[in-house]
Amino acid sequence: MFALCDCNNFYASAERLFRPELIGKPLVVLSNNDGCVIARSEEAKACGIKMGDPEFLVRDLIKKFDIHVFSSNYVLYGDISERVMHNLGRWFPRLDVYSIDEAFGWLGGIRNLENYTPVIRSSVIRNTGIPVSIGVAPTKTLAKLANKLSKKAGGVMVLDTDKKISAAVKDFPVHDLWGVGRQHYKKFEQLNISTAGQLREMPEMWFKQNMTIIGQRMWNELWGRPVIPLDAVRETKKGITVSRSFRNYIEHPDILAEALTLYASRLAEKLRAENLRCLYLQVFLYTNKNREDHPQHFPSHTHKLLIASNSTSDLVSIAVRVSAMLFKYGVKYRKAGVIASGLVPESELQLNVFASHDNGKKDVVSQVLDKLNLAYGRGTLRMATEGYDKKWRLKHEYLSKGYTTRWADIIKVI
């Protein structure tokens, strides 16, 4: 049996964790640059706030219903997510973390799931303060379905018999099924298929012909036959990206170099955290395509390294040089980013006889950077080209404190 554990309104719940006075009050979390709504409490949903609504379009609703607004605090969310996943790992023989707020667990051999599953939920809520919902079923697809139903059934839904599964899929909206995209849903509409129960009754060959192998898997999973296993070993990533939109337009190459230094530094940190190195580093710049009165420029360049690297100094040096090459005067840049590709594990590093290397000195420098920034806070030690007065940085006027990652922000109880 599979269990899907999902944190309820995760970003909103994480903000409420250290602000208990907001429990029961409407709350929204905004995307980068405070652009769009990306998370809502149930109370905010009832006020008419929709997912993806631009902030400027819902200001009247925010003011009318006194909705509390927060900028995205990804450092906080990542730390809380790690705590939730650690607690879940205590209850499952195998755990597959699916996203920042979701994880699949394997419950093979465990009996009396109706009693066991609520204990898991209560334990996670008690230890982390984050409300979770758990759906249990013979397949991942049905576990996803059960999880959605559990949110209106006390937080737990166990589909462990054919009778329960048939009742659950009978009226479940087909567009809410895991793996159903827009193109598939259009086909279902043409055939007047509106529920998972109706879809399940279609012949297996129809799935194979109209939805390829993915559809065939879905058909088997809807009938309780597991064909999507837990990921015991994660595949190596194909690429890692760090990109941001600027708070203000960038019109000078030195200011652009500051931004690319920060992004390349973050990219190097991510590579080292996953014990990876990259052979290719791509740098790209964007202007605002919605401003017809601005000159448009979308340059991109990929640099090949002679030796795969995750050194901060290496990647920053390349990013700064390439950004200077791509920059064009008279253009207002709105966004920039770096992409690492050609990723190889550190254990498989291949040196180049024609390229000089420093016998690991740059690696030592990067390790010192990581240790100091971990101990004293990110950005304590950084590359000089990153600058200090970053007026271009993301707009986050409603950013909450780093309650779990910054000593100065730890809550004091008097």
pLDDT tens-place string over residues 56-80: 999 999 999 999 999 999 889 999 9
Distance CA 217, CA 198 (A): 17
Category of 7 on φ-ψ map: left (φ > 0), alpha (ψ -120 to 50) or beta? beta
- Res. 234: pLDDT tops 70: no
Question: Given this model, what pLDDT does residue 233 score?
Answer: 46
Please give the average per-residue pLDDT across 226-244, as a whole number. Answer: 76
Instruction: Walk me through the domains of the chain, giving residue ranges and CATH numbers.
Output: 2-150 (3.30.70.270), 161-222 (1.10.150), 239-386 (3.30.1490.100)
Distance CA 97, CA 77 (A): 15
pLDDT above 70 coverage of the chain, percent: 96
* Strand ranges (E), 123-186: 132-137, 156-158
- Res. 235: pLDDT tops 70: no
Specify the residue for token string 């397949």: 139
- Res. 19: pLDDT tops 50: yes
Mean pLDDT of the chain: 88
Question: Given this model, what pLDDT does residue 355 score?
Answer: 63
Question: Given this model, what pLDDT does residue 359 score?
Answer: 61
Please give the average per-residue pLDDT across 49-53, as a whole number. Answer: 92
Backbone angles phi, psi at 241, to 5 degrees: -120, 140
Give the tokens for residue 50: 């929709």
List the beta bridge partners of residue 341: 239, 280
Please give the average per-residue pLDDT across 102-116, as a whole number. Answer: 89
Give the tokens for residue 294: 């601005």
Work out the pLDDT band at 333, boundaries 50, 70, 90. very high
Q: What is the CA 329 to chain-centroid distance, rounded?
A: 35
Which one has a higher pLDDT value, 235 or 406?
406
Question: Given this model, what pLDDT does residue 358 score?
Answer: 65
Element of type H or E holding 15: helix 10-17
Q: What is the DSSP letter of 267?
A: H
Work out the pLDDT band at 269, boundaries 50, 70, 90. very high
Question: Given this model, what pLDDT does residue 244 score?
Answer: 86
Lowest-pLDDT choice from 1-5, 238-242, 402-406: 402-406
Work out the pLDDT band at 232, boundaries 50, 70, 90. very low
CA dihedral 222, 227, 228, 234 (to 10 degrees): 180
Question: Given this model, what pLDDT does residue 293 score?
Answer: 86
Complete edge-to-edge strand list for the sheet that includes strand 239-250: 239-250, 333-345, 276-287, 300-309
List the beta bridge partners of residue 54: 36
Question: Given this model, what pLDDT does residue 180 score?
Answer: 80
pLDDT tens-place string over residues 294-322: 899 999 999 999 889 999 999 999 999 99
Which one has a higher pLDDT value, 218 or 2?
2
Q: Which of 105-114, 149-158, 203-212, 394-403 has the highest mean pLDDT?
A: 149-158
Give the tokens for residue 368: 């010192």
Distance CA 253, CA 247 (A): 16
- Torsion sign over Cα 10, 134, 167, 187: positive
Work out the pLDDT band at 190, boundaries 50, 70, 90. confident
Distance CA 208, CA 214 (A): 8
pLDDT tens-place string over residues 359-403: 666 778 888 888 888 777 777 788 888 877 777 777 788 889 888
